[in-house]
């Protein structure tokens, strides 16, 4: 697995943070009808179980919001991806349809409440560290354009920042050419079902993306 670490500054402000990291080989496709059927079923169940007011009470979401505040970022203005996706689901807007890999990642996120990144390993340069975003750092977020990452927990490699729990970057995004995939799961509060969520993600990657050569690790 590509080396991943958490900076001392992040550890001091978010002492309970764990990253559940899964890396594998896979196949990206736009033909995934069986996965879409599963997503439809799971989203219907979530809509029946939750209201918008319930979302902030989910332990993984609640602890993530506290983590953002500890780092100096307003979680209401810079929503964590899991919260933003769940709000779409509960309002009946569904999940974005991108490709099999991104869609199963988003399904794992809304079911668990954990914000999850998804990166093309071959676009990452050198080792990865989770640090804190700085003022005026250039960052082009997927579907959002320029994003102010100051005070956001931010993955960076030798070329700079490329991933946050609010939005991943265009530079390392999953594309039809992606063959090696990294999925880090942000557990800000030491929630105890992280290994279970990682196992569920591996199952989906095997079943719907021909995932193979899996490596997994919990980093703290």
Closest-CA residue to 129 (of 156, 149, 150): 156
Nearest CA to 13 among 179, 115, 133?
A: 133
- The pLDDT of residue 169: 97
- pLDDT per residue as tens digits for the range 9-22: 999 999 999 999 99
Q: Where are the domains of the chain?
A: 4-219
Q: Could you report the per-residue pLDDT of 171-200, keeping only the tens digit for each?
A: 999 999 999 999 999 999 989 999 999 999
Q: How high is the pLDDT of residue 84?
A: 97
Greater model confidence, 190 or 157: 157
Backbone angles phi, psi at 153, to 5 degrees: -65, 125
Residue 161 confidence (pLDDT): 98
> Per-residue pLDDT tens for 48-73?
999 999 999 999 999 999 999 999 99
Looking at 3.50.40.10, 2.130.10.10, 3.40.50.300, 3.40.50.720, the CATH number of the domain 4-219 comes to 3.50.40.10
Compute the distance between CA of residue 117 and CA of residue 185 in angstroms, rounded to an integer. 7
- The pLDDT tens digits for 84-118 are 999 999 999 999 999 999 999 999 999 999 999 99
Phi, psi for 156 (deg, rounded to 5): -145, 150
Q: What is the pTM of this model?
A: 0.96
Are the C-beta atoms of 184 and 154 separated by less than 8 Å?
no
Q: What is the model's pLDDT at position 3?
A: 98
144 against 205, higher pLDDT:
205
What does the pLDDT look like over 21-54, one tens digit per residue?
A: 999 999 999 999 999 999 999 999 999 999 999 9
């Amino acid at each position: 697995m590509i080396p991943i670490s958490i900076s001392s500054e992040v550890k001091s402000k978010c002492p309970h943070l764990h990253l559940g990291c899964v890396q594998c080989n896979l196949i990206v496709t736009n033909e995934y009808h069986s996965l879409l059927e599963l997503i439809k079923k799971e989203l219907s169940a979530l809509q029946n179980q939750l209201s918008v007011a319930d979302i902030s009470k989910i332990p993984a979401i609640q602890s993530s919001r506290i983590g953002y505040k500890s780092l100096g970022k307003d979680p209401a203005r810079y929503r964590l991806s899991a919260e933003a996706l769940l709000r779409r689901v509960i309002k009946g807007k569904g999940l974005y349809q991108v490709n099999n890999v991104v869609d199963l990642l988003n399904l794992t996120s809304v079911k668990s409440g954990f914000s999850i990144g998804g990166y093309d390993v071959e676009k990452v340069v050198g080792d990865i560290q989770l640090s804190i975003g700085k003022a005026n750092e250039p960052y082009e977020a997927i579907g959002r354009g320029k994003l102010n990452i100051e005070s956001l927990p931010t993955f960076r490699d030798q070329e700079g920042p490329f991933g946050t729990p609010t939005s991943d970057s265009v530079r390392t995004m999953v594309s039809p050419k992606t063959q090696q995939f990294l999925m880090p799961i942000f557990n800000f509060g030491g929630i105890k079902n992280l290994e279970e969520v990682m196992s569920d993600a591996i199952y989906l990657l095997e079943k719907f993306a021909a995932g193979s050569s899996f490596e997994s690790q919990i980093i703290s």
